[in-house]
Amino acid sequence: MKTSISIGRIMGIPIKLHITFLLILPVFAYFFAFSTVNIMVFTLGFGDAASLTVKCVFGALAAVLFFVCVLFHELGHSYVALRHGTKIKSITLLIFGGIASMEEIPKEPGTECSIALAGPLVSLLIGVLSLMLFFFLYQTTSMLLYVKTLFGILAFYNIFLAGFNFLPAFPMDGGRVLRAFLATKTGYIDATEKAAGVGKIFAIFMGILGFLLLPGGIWFVLIAFIIYIGASEEEKSTVVAVTLEGIKVKDIMTPGVVTVPSAMTASELVDFMLKTKHMGYPVFDESLLGIVTLNDVRKIPVENRINTPVRDIMTKNIISIKSGMGAVDALKIMVKHNIGRLLVIDNNALVGIVSRTDLIRSVQILR
């Protein structure tokens, strides 16, 4: 399922909007249009405005500009990353902000640190500029009053975003700075585990605080949950990526794959599976034709299995890889297509099979 749409490119990077972003944008617009929250000198919303048109126009404007600022935050990370030679695959805006997905996370601590700091610094810059414009318009009474409120909203949320991201907890940007700092003293995996640990502890405290402040604290609970998941994911993916670095598919694949002929019937296949205890087989005559699994057999009624050849039930568009591919990339393909095994094909010849279990076992052994 396609979960995001592309809206264009900036600095050569595809900008995408995630489905959750498209759902949350009207909620933000509604919130800005019809609520009024006073914090310090700021009025965060147009709920006090006399006309409905003003509420709707400025509410929508505030929501859109807020996410444009988030986009600038991500572009800040991307700009510095590109200058250090790290490619950016895409920038996606989603429910809780933005993600700039890098081709690989730079393991040079200095580089990681500058990329991580660039985002919050951009937010801080936008925040301070908006704050100056806010105070410039502070005494105004006319229609500019709403423009002042708008700058107040941008100032408040951008400075908040910068401050929040400076927290030294994964998956916030400050967590990356912390990891970069720790990585100068210890190994990269150790540094990641420690930084993720700090992120989790932070999330737990935030969650507890949220529960104490219910019902308003529900937002804290939600953010704490996102931070906890983010920290765990970052930890897991880093451990796998670093451990499997330099490992090729040919180092971990199972060679000498058992195949079945396309003329074998479904009932013969079931007997064959019972004997060999494997759930899936490549179908091979002169060349590779497809892959057949127990699930394919299940779709055929038992009485028809005796005269149904596997060529009629096999999956034909198989995803295959080359033996020289990196193990991490193979894992990424499996996760993306949600499949458990990949056939390894070199020069039209089936040379092996690699499964998710093989990859997970390799990580356990290599650590």
Q: Which residues are catalytic?
A: 74
From the list 119, 199, 210, 230, which residue makes contact with Zn ion (rule: CB under 5 A)?
A: 119
Per DSSP, what are the bridge partners of residue 290? 283
From 30-38, 118-126, 284-292, 359-367, span contacting Zn ion (CB under 5 A): 118-126
Q: Which is nearer to Zn ion, 76 or 352 (CB)?
A: 76
Reported as type and span, the H/E element at residue 41 is none
Supply the minimum distance, in Å, between the C-beta of residue 281 and Zn ion: 46
Place of tokens 């996606």: 92
Residue with smaller CB distance to Zn ion, 78 or 243: 78
Smallest distance, Å, CB 113 to Zn ion? 13
Given a contact cutoff of 8 angstroms between Cβ atoms, the answer to whether 120 and 166 are in contact is yes
Tokens 């929508």, residue? 60
Please state the closest distance from residue 124 (CB atom) to Zn ion, in A. 12
Mark 41-80 with x for binding to Zn ion (rule: CB under 5 A) and - for no binding: ----------------------------------------
Q: How far is the CB of 176 from Zn ion (least distance, A)?
A: 8
Under 8 Å between Cβ of 4 and 68: no
Three-state DSSP at 355 gives strand
Question: Under a CB-based contact definition with an 8 Å cutoff, are residues 337 and 327 in contact?
Answer: no
Q: Tell me phi and psi for residue 284, to 5 degrees.
A: -140, 125
Q: Which residue, 30 or 166, has its beta carbon nearer to Zn ion?
A: 166
Residue with Cβ nearer Zn ion (124 or 240): 124
CA–CA separation, 280 and 359 (whole Å)? 18
| Only segment of 107-115, 171-179, 259-267, 273-281 that touches Zn ion (CB under 5 A) | 171-179
Q: How far is the CB of 82 from Zn ion (least distance, A)?
A: 15
Nearest C-alpha neighbor of 98 from the set 128, 82, 125, 119: 119
What is the sign of the dihedral through the CA atoms of 348, 351, 356 and 360?
negative
Which is nearer to Zn ion, 119 or 290 (by Cβ)? 119
Binders of Zn ion among residues 172 to 201 (CB under 5 A) are: 173
φ/ψ of 343, rounded to 5, equals -85, 140
Q: Which stretch binds Zn ion (CB under 5 A): 34-42, 56-64, 113-121, 259-267?
A: 113-121
User: 181 by DSSP, 3-state: which?
Assistant: helix
- 173 vs 358, beta carbon nearer Zn ion: 173
Q: Is 112 in the site for Zn ion (CB under 5 A)?
A: no
Q: What is the DSSP string of 258-324?
A: --B-TT-BHHHHHHHHHHH--SEEEEESSSEEEEEEHHHHHTS-GGGGGG-BGGGTSB-S--EE-TT
In the bound complex, what is the minimum distance in angstroms from residue 28's beta carbon to Zn ion?
19
Q: With CB under 5 A as the contact rule, which of the stretches 36-44, 112-120, 141-149, 349-357 interacts with Zn ion?
A: 112-120
Give the interface with Zn ion as residue ranges (CB under 5 A): 119, 173
